[in-house]
Amino acid sequence: MGHTDGPPQSVRPAGADSAPVLPSPVLSVRTLTKRFPGVVANDGISLDFHAGETHVLLGENGAGKSTLIGMLAGMLRPDAGEILVQGSPVRILTPRQSLDLGIGTVFQHMLLVPSLSVIENLMLGGPWWQRLARGAAYRRFAELSECLGISLDPDLPVGHLSLGQQQQVEILRALWRDTRVLILDEPTSMLTPQGVRDLSAVLCRLCSQGVAIVLVTHKLAEAYDLGDRVSVLRQGRLVGGIAADEHRGMTEAQMTDQVIAMMFDPAHAPMADERAILLGRGNVHAPSVRRGAAPCLEVRNISTMPRTAAHGLQGVSFDLRPGEVLGIAGVDGNGQKQLAEVIAGQRAPSSGTVLVGGKDVTQGDVAARRNAGIRYVTDDRLGEGTVGSLSVAINLLLKNVGAEPFWHRGIADWARIRQAARDDIQRHDIRTRSEQTLLAKLSGGNIQKVLLARELGKAEGDVKVIVFSKPTHGLDLHNAQLAHRRIRESAAAGRGIVLLSTDLDELLTLSDRIGVLFQGRLVGIVDNGPGAGAAIGRLMTGAVAA
Amino acid sequence: MNTTWRVLLPILLALLAGAVVLIFLGKDPLAYYGYVMERGIFSWGGLQETITRMAPLLLIAAGLIVAFRAGVWNLGGDGQYLLAAVVTAALAPALVEVMPRALTLVICMVIAFVVAAIWSLLPAFLRARYGINEIVTSLMMSFLGISLANVLVKLFFWDPTTTVPQTRTLAIADRLPRIFGSNIHIGILLALVVIILVHLLMTRTAFGLKLQIVGASPKAARHAGLKVGALTVVTFALSAGLIGLAAAVEILGVWGNVRADWNPAYGMLVVPLVFLARLNGLAVIGFTFFFSSLMIGGESAARRIGVPQDFVLLLMGLVLAFLALVEYLDHRRRQRLGA
Ligand SMILES: Nc1ncnc2c1ncn2[C@@H]1O[C@H](COP(=O)(O)OP(=O)(O)OP(=O)(O)O)[C@@H](O)[C@H]1O
Ligand SMILES: [Mg+2]
């Protein structure tokens, strides 16, 4: 995209479109190296980023993508190598300097302040001694919104926005100053298909205006659709790439095959027959639902108070049978989080009941629900799912503190705790230096693996229902596939699965039935099969169930 | 920068800045510091006083570590301390007339613990139930507690045989036993045992880990099914109770009575110590010894050299300020390195 359409490009030198030689890059890195204790996160990386081009960075979890971005954004300091902006070497010591150089970054984990309004969040970047110039800020907001085709209310608190809208605020913030390079670290991992389409439109526009875009993603289809050029990192090294002209001539399948070969270490490479699954080609859904069995989870007429940020639930009811996977689709903010939290016991419904294995657990708190056999994988992995300042080992047992056999009469058996953690780390391929590493030091995808390992790993207790909220968010292809397989195995073992996801492909791959939440109501439940995707799409826009 | 330096540097900087202040006051810093060391550590009498003073300070430190690790900012220590002290001083002389000394001492400690714990319940409840910041409420309760303690002495426990308002005095023979004929009472042993127990509690037990999780991230704690409200209340009560125990030990071991308007304000003094020790129960023992010797030495120096006793407080404030500065610089440096 970007090289065929759009108005004349302001940043590119005249004649660039006709000349075969590329204009000099706006941003380059040369033999950039960054070491952390025990790992070389970036190992002599050299790359060029060109105006008007979308450069996609691919790589498995922990490959070093966010580290590279951290150095460009002034959050990390390189150990060796240099960064060049329009050919001249620069030193980027602070995020402010990065912005001053025209580099805007949208990080993997959101950095907005939920209680402040959109416009206040955008003005936060300014120096503290400057008077907050609201008038100018509103003008800039209007200008940027128009240019990007975004419509947001600048005075709404950010906490009230959907994730997709928050993403837009992050992009506005990255573009707030005159930005020549826009970096996005996994911006689509939480978005619905529609959200991804909106984002693509914005990126296309920016590209055509001559902005250089750096995009990190784990979805190869996006890399194909959005990218002009692809680079692949593995274990901190640049292991290959697809140049712009090459990329243009390729089919999606060709590119995908080539990229997968580059991306994965042969030892971890997915089997050939898994590749189709991995790419979402061919629905391998093998239902394991036990139709005759009594439901393991009954949700009866649940309503919750509406929160300012999202719709409350209104009379949601469904049954879940052992071995069944019930997908829940819908745009974020339509009640997904409330539903998950009501089932997990984190939120009290204003009316209605929840039954697990026929027993009413509505009054039970989180611990009681867990004892009743409910597990919950949250989508807020940093906010509530984990504690960054504690070790990986403790995070793996965060919900079992005090339980046998890791604690005897309340006294910790550290040897056993660490051994269990090492087993989990191996089983779930969590890339960490050791089990005692602080969780915050892990890459995004590896933190997600910790979360999954915690709820899936130990079969202790009698697990009846597992609620997954965006379970593969931030996982690379291989690990997403691994997670899917584990979810299927759980279902096959007779557990009921509630799968909340914004990723329609994921829902279609795993679910037996798919319900759609719209404005707090369960507007319909569709049996998975031919035509299900289209039916869900209609329901998601609020059309009444057929 | 390694941990040792991160801790020693603020102390050295504070001593240096203190020296500058002394020069401005027209005193010789070397003479002052020399005298403080001499009196606080290197004379047998001073050393005994220093070790005796450590007992309440260590118990308060134990109470603060429990709270701070759990992210509960119990800054109401002074009120909790004084109330417990007054109740102890009022009870002990009366009880010892009707029961054996050992039993009296134990009962007084238990009651002091309970009284202080009760005084922490309101801020604890407000925080657990309504999320009201406990820094403000515990400070307010502290002022109330200090006033109430004075009122109690003046209105209810005033010893009729004295002219100044003070409680009855526990006879020296009835106070905490001394160690091997020294002047040091056994409170220091109790304090050492308690601080080590607190250290083990925080590092080895499920309860300690739960407190840490609540302290690090209440949201994660709730998600993990921990009873955040109940843990907050228990933490507050334990913290205040240990501070109450500190008061009991000081009254039963050293003073034997409480005078109206007496307020050593140890609670606030110990706050910088536990931060210097990074909330580590073992490290705090060393810092308490250092600070205790400074206090004892400073008290003598005030009489002898004429440097106001408050100078010790100034030093402590400087330590805290430099500690924050060193932490900040180090944090920035680490952030750069991404370590
Ligand atoms: N602050 C840190 N301290 C120590 N190690 C770190 C730190 N940040 C990252 N690492 C390590 O550096 C490596 C690269 O991490 P990075 O976050 O760049 O991966 P990534 O490619 O973004 O992965 P993901 O797809 O999971 O987000 C990982 O092994 C990670 O554990
Ligand atoms: Mg990353």
Contacts of A389 in chain B (CB under 8 A): 216
**pLDDT for A545:** 44
Does residue B173 lie within any of the structural domains?
yes
SS (H, E, C) A170-214: HHHHHHCCCCCEEEEECCCCCCCHHHHHHHHHHHHHHHHCCCEEE
Domain hosting residue B82, numbered range: 28-306
Residue pointed to by tokens 């290197």: B42
Mean of the per-residue pLDDT values of chain A: 83
Ligand 1 pocket, residue A67 CB under 6 Å: yes
Mode of pairing for the β-strands spanning A237-242 and A80-85? unpaired
**pLDDT for A279:** 56
* A66 Cβ contact list (under 8 Å, min separation 6): A107, A108, A185, A216, A443, A444
* A113 Cβ contact list (under 8 Å, min separation 6): A120, A121, A124, A158
Contacts of B219 in chain A (CB under 8 A): 383-384
Q: Is the pLDDT of residue A266 over 80?
A: no
DSSP-derived letter for residue B152 is I
* Strands annotated E in A288-422: 297-303, 316-320, 325-329, 351-356, 359-360, 374-377, 407-408, 411-412
A292 close contact with B: CB closer than 8 A = no
Alpha helices in chain B (DSSP H): 3-24, 29-40, 44-69, 77-98, 101-119, 121-130, 134-151, 187-204, 206-216, 218-223, 228-250, 266-276, 283-304, 310-337
Centroid of chain to Cα B290: 14
Give which of A226, A229, A156, A234 is closest to A188, Cα–Cα: A226
Mode of pairing for the β-strands spanning A351-356 and A411-412? unpaired
Among chain B residues, the shortest Cα distance to A74 is held by B336
Burial class (CB in 10 A: 0-12, 13-18, 19+), B41: middle
Q: pLDDT per residue over B55-80, tens digit each?
A: 999 999 999 999 999 999 999 999 99
**pLDDT for A309:** 54
Q: Give the number of whichever ligand sits closest to the CA of residue A63.
A: 1
* A222 Cβ contact list (under 8 Å, min separation 6): A56, A188, A196, A215
DSSP-derived letter for residue A158 is G
Q: How far apart are the C-alpha atoms of A302 and A355, rounded to whole Å?
A: 11
A-B CB pairs within 8 A amount to 77
Q: How far apart are the C-alpha atoms of A318 and A295, rounded to whole Å?
A: 10
Of A58-72, A80-94, A330-344, B205-219, the range with the lowest mean pLDDT is A330-344
CA angle B183/B187/B190 to nearest 5° reads: 140
Burial class (CB in 10 A: 0-12, 13-18, 19+), B173: exposed
**pLDDT for A169:** 86
**DSSP H or E stretch at residue A55:** strand A54-59
Counting other chains too, the contacts that A528-531 makes at CB distance below 8 Å and 24 or more residues apart are: A528/A285, A528/A327
* A131 Cβ contact list (under 8 Å, min separation 6): none
Give the residue with greater pLDDT, A131 vs A495: A495
Helix, strand or coil, per DSSP, at residue B88 = helix
> Residue A59 pairs with which residues in a beta bridge?
A233
Q: Is the pLDDT of residue A4 over 70?
A: no
Q: Is the pLDDT of residue A372 over 50?
A: yes
Q: How far apart are the C-alpha atoms of A11 and A452, rounded to whole Å?
A: 45
CATH code (residue B150) = 1.10.3470
Give which of B304, B338, B254, B277 is closest to B62, Cα–Cα: B277
**pLDDT for A201:** 86
Residues of chain B with pLDDT under 70: 1, 335-339
> Phi and psi dihedrals of A158, rounded to 5?
-60, -30
Whether A411 and B224 lie within 8 Å, measured CB to CB: no
pTM score, whole prediction:
0.86
Q: Please state, for a pLDDT cut of 70, what percent of chain A lies above it.
A: 87
Q: Is the pLDDT of residue A224 over 60?
A: yes
Residue pointed to by tokens 């922990």: A62
**What is the rounded average pLDDT of the residues A483-508?**
90
The shortest CB-CB distance from B213 to any of A70, A345, A387 is to A387
Q: Is the pLDDT of residue A70 over 70?
A: yes
- Here the ipTM equals 0.85
Whether B223 and A346 lie within 8 Å, measured CB to CB: yes
* CATH 3.40.50.12780 describes domain A293-373+463-546: no
Of A201-215, A454-468, A485-499, B232-246, the range with the lowest mean pLDDT is A454-468
Q: Is the pLDDT of residue A391 over 90?
A: yes
- Integer CA distances (angstroms), B100 to B94, B103, B110, B175, B185, in order: 11, 5, 16, 12, 18
> Residue A232 pairs with which residues in a beta bridge?
A58, A240
Of A166-170, A238-242, A331-335, B107-111, the range with the lowest mean pLDDT is A331-335
Q: Is the pLDDT of residue A537 over 60?
A: yes
Whether B206 and A383 lie within 8 Å, measured CB to CB: no
A440 close contact with B: CB closer than 8 A = no
Ligand 1 pocket, residue A441 CB under 6 Å: yes
Does residue B321 lie within any of the structural domains?
no
Number of residues that make up chain A = 546
* B40 Cβ contact list (under 8 Å, min separation 6): B46, B47, B50, B292, B293, B294, B295, B296, B297, B298
Whether A367 and B225 lie within 8 Å, measured CB to CB: yes
Q: Is B71 left (phi over 0), alpha (psi -120 to 50) or beta?
A: left
Give which of B61, A512, A246, B218 is closest to A227, Cα–Cα: A246
DSSP-derived letter for residue A321 is -
Mode of pairing for the β-strands spanning A39-49 and A27-36? antiparallel
- Integer CA distances (angstroms), B128 to A157, B80, B124, in order: 26, 19, 6
Does residue B311 lie within any of the structural domains?
no
**pLDDT for A7:** 40
Domain with CATH 3.40.50.300 in chain A: 51-74+93-269, 293-373+463-546
Among chain B residues, the shortest Cα distance to A406 is held by B206
Centroid of chain to Cα A514: 21
Q: CB of A67 within 8 A of CB of A41?
A: yes
Burial class (CB in 10 A: 0-12, 13-18, 19+), A358: exposed
**What is the rounded average pLDDT of the residues A457-469?**
80
**pLDDT for A284:** 54
Q: Is the pLDDT of residue A71 over 80?
A: yes
Q: CB of A278 within 8 A of CB of A478?
A: yes
Whether B227 and A398 lie within 8 Å, measured CB to CB: no
Q: Give the number of whichever ligand sits closest to the CA of residue A107.
A: 2
Q: Give the number of whichever ligand sits closest to the CA of residue A234.
A: 1
**pLDDT for A318:** 94
Ligand 1 pocket, residue A210 CB under 6 Å: no
Q: Indicate the CATH number of A51-74+93-269 among 2.60.120.10, 3.40.50.970, 3.40.718.10, 3.40.50.300.
A: 3.40.50.300
Whether B225 and A365 lie within 8 Å, measured CB to CB: yes
Angle of helix B77-98 relative to helix B101-119, nearest 10 degrees?
150
Burial class (CB in 10 A: 0-12, 13-18, 19+), B119: buried
Does residue B12 lie within any of the structural domains?
no
**DSSP H or E stretch at residue A240:** strand A237-242
Count of the separate structural domains present in chain B: 1
Whether B227 and A365 lie within 8 Å, measured CB to CB: yes
Q: Is the pLDDT of residue A168 over 90?
A: no
Q: Name which residue sits closest to atom 18 of ligand 1, judged by CA.
A: A64
A387 close contact with B: CB closer than 8 A = yes
Q: In testing the pocket of ligand 1, which one of A66, A381, A428 has its CB within 8 Å of the most ligand atoms? A: A66
**What is the rounded average pLDDT of the residues A199-209?**
87
Helix, strand or coil, per DSSP, at residue B137 = helix
**pLDDT for A19:** 40
Q: What's the CA-to-centroid distance between A61 and ligand 1, angstroms?
A: 8
Residue among A341, A384, A404 with most chain B CBs within 10 A, to mutate: A384
Q: What's the CA-to-centroid distance between A232 and ligand 1, angstroms?
A: 15
A76 close contact with B: CB closer than 8 A = yes
**pLDDT for A15:** 38
Does residue B3 lie within any of the structural domains?
no
| Model confidence band, residue A222 (pLDDT cutoffs 50, 70, 90) | confident
**pLDDT for A320:** 94
Q: How far apart are the C-alpha atoms of A428 and A39, rounded to whole Å?
A: 19
Does residue B146 lie within any of the structural domains?
yes
Q: How far apart are the C-alpha atoms of A453 and A435, rounded to whole Å?
A: 13
